[in-house]
């Protein structure tokens, strides 16, 4: 069994209106030292398999088919074997 953590972020140069809204809220609460906020997505999956290479391929496929919009998003993932 493997635990997979997938981190999805907007590509550089892509507008992040949610990040801008959060930045303004932080400013209004007195956190002016925060200079930029960029938002993203996080997924944590548990995949039943004994083969890490197979898990890598499945994760890449899931990201490319449904989890990530490759036009505006980047992704990276980490795979850990769990007992």
At 73 the three-state DSSP class reads: strand
pLDDT value of position 83: 79
Q: The CATH number of the domain where 39 resides is what? A: 3.30.1280.10
Our count of domains for the chain comes to 1
33 phi and psi, to 5 degrees? -70, -15
pLDDT value of position 53: 97
Structure tokens at 38: 């960029």
At 74 the three-state DSSP class reads: strand
Residue with tokens 């548990």: 46
Q: What is the pLDDT along the chain (83 residues), one digit of tens a residue?
A: 999 999 999 999 999 999 999 999 999 999 999 999 999 999 999 999 999 999 999 999 999 999 999 999 999 999 999 97
Residue span of the structural domain in which 37 resides:
2-81
């Amino acid at each position: 069994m493997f635990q997979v953590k997938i981190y999805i972020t907007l590509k550089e140069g892509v507008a992040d209106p949610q990040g801008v809204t959060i930045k303004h809220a932080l400013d209004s609460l007195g956190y002016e030292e925060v200079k930029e906020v960029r938002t993203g997505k996080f997924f944590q999956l548990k995949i039943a398999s004994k083969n890490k290479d197979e898990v890598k391929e499945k994760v890449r496929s899931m990201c490319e088919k449904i989890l990530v919009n490759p036009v505006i998003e980047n992704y990276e993932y980490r795979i850990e074997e769990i007992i």
